[in-house]
Structures are given as C-alpha cells and as structure tokens.
C-alpha cells in the first residue's frame, strides 16, 4: 500500500493497495522518481495484470480528521476495495512509511507492516505508489477544468508559486483544505 496527496493544499488524499501478478509488471518503483511516461506505462501494466483497490478521502474529511487520520482512512478503504476484488482477505499489508492504520481506524482488520522507503524497496508498494499518484493526478487535472486559475493540471494542488498567487487573488475553492496553514491563514486575513 501507498498513498498520494498528503502535502497538497487542495484535493483528496488517495491510497492504493496492490497484489502483484507473477511475473510482476516491469518498471515498478517509487512514483516520485519515475517520469510521467514511465508511470503511465507502469500503471497500464498494473491495471491489466494485478489486483488492486483504491481508497479516496475527500477534503471535508481531511479537514475534519486531519491529514494523518484521512490517510489512514484512505488506506483502509483501499484494502476494503482490494479484498472485494479478490473476494477474500489479504494476509499482510506492507505499507510505505513508518505507521499503519492498525489501531487507528476501527475498520482496519489486517496484519500490517510499515516499511520506511517501501515504495523504492518493495515492488508491490511501488505499484501502489504508482496507482495512487496516477489516480490522484487525474482527479486534479479534472478539477482544474472547474477551477482554472490555480494551475492544478500542472501542480496537482501542491503549494507552488502559481497556486499560492491564485489562492491570494481568487480565494479558496471547495477543494482547498481549510485546515492547511496557507489556506487557513488566507481565510483569517479575508
């Protein structure tokens, strides 16, 4: 498992859980170090040959829970979706990072092991990293159609200069995380 979207100022957090096929698809690894073209090729192969689940937590829940709680919930939803696809339970969840949803989300029911840097060390985590990033990126590109001033098709909701300038000029949208400092501080000023 891995997630995408913990740091942006706008948009959901997305998690993916993947069970690799054998042999695993080529080109797997940390989505942050792969080129856009390499991620796209890998995503196509993962979706065609592997079992996976996606979990999404929207902005309102990020603001209500905090980003950590929302990430743990997205991971739980991804595992639930994966188990539905497989029609069985998963033995162990290997998760990129240093914490797992175990004991943090009531619905989490699987053994879990956190692996720091797991997206670069474990091929299944790398596959999850790719799926989560690609899925979230598509959501932000689509959102840019409704909110064209913020450059989300380029910055995916992260706090780039362009995004921050547009936030100051146009204010926050419903997709902005009001619990995140740049958005919260802007709303205090306005």
Q: What is the pLDDT of residue 22?
A: 87
Contact at 8 Å (CB) between 127 and 24? yes
pLDDT digits over 59-86, tens only? 999 999 999 999 999 999 999 999 999 9
Query: How far from 81 is each of 24, 117, 124, 159, CA to CA, in Å?
Result: 21, 24, 16, 30
Q: What is the pLDDT of residue 91?
A: 87
Q: What is the pLDDT of residue 112?
A: 97
Residue 190 in any domain: the answer is: no
Q: What is the pLDDT of residue 187?
A: 65
- Split into its structural domains, the chain has a count of 1
- Identify each DSSP E strand in the chain by its residue range: 2-4, 13-19, 51-57, 93-96, 112-115
Residue 139 in any domain: the answer is: yes
Residue 181 in any domain: the answer is: no
Q: What residue numbers bound the domain in which 10 lies?
A: 2-146
- Report the distance separating Cα 9 and Cα 184, nearest Å: 10
Q: Which two tokens stand for residue 8?
A: 């942006």
Query: How far from 175 is each of 139, 170, 172, CA to CA, in Å?
Result: 11, 13, 8
Residue 186 in any domain: the answer is: no
Helices (H) and strands (E) in the chain, counts: 8, 5
Residue 99 in any domain: the answer is: yes
Residue 93 in any domain: the answer is: yes
Beta strand 93-96 pairing with 112-115: parallel
CATH of the domain at 53: 3.30.420.10
Which positions of the chain have pLDDT values less than 50? 190
- Report the distance separating Cα 117 and Cα 109, nearest Å: 23
Q: How many residues does the chain have?
A: 190
Residue 79 in any domain: the answer is: yes
Q: What is the pLDDT of residue 71?
A: 98
pLDDT digits over 85-110, tens only? 999 988 899 999 999 999 999 999 99
Q: What is the pLDDT of residue 188?
A: 62
Residue 166 in any domain: the answer is: no
CB burial readout 130-158, b (16+ within 10 A) else e: bbbbbbbbebbeebbeebeebbbeebbbb
């Amino acid at each position: 498992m891995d997630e995408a979207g913990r740091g942006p100022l706008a948009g959901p957090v997305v998690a993916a859980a993947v069970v690799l096929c054998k042999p695993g698809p080529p080109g797997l690894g940390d989505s942050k170090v792969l080129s856009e073209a390499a991620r796209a090729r890998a995503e196509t192969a993962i979706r065609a040959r592997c079992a996976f689940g996606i979990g999404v937590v929207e902005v309102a829940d990020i603001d209500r829970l905090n980003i950590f709680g929302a990430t743990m919930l997205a991971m739980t939803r991804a595992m639930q979706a994966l188990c539905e696809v497989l029609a069985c339970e998963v033995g162990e969840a290997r998760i990129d990072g240093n914490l797992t949803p175990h004991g943090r989300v009531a619905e989490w029911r699987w053994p879990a092991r956190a692996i720091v840097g797991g997206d670069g060390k474990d091929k299944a985590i790398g596959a999850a990293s790719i799926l989560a990033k690609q899925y979230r990126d598509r959501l932000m590109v689509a959102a840019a159609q409704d909110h064209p001033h913020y450059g989300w098709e380029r910055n995916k909701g992260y706090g780039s200069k362009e995004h921050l300038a547009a936030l100051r000029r146009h204010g926050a949208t419903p997709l902005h995380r009001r619990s995140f400092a740049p958005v919260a501080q802007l709303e205090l000023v306005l």
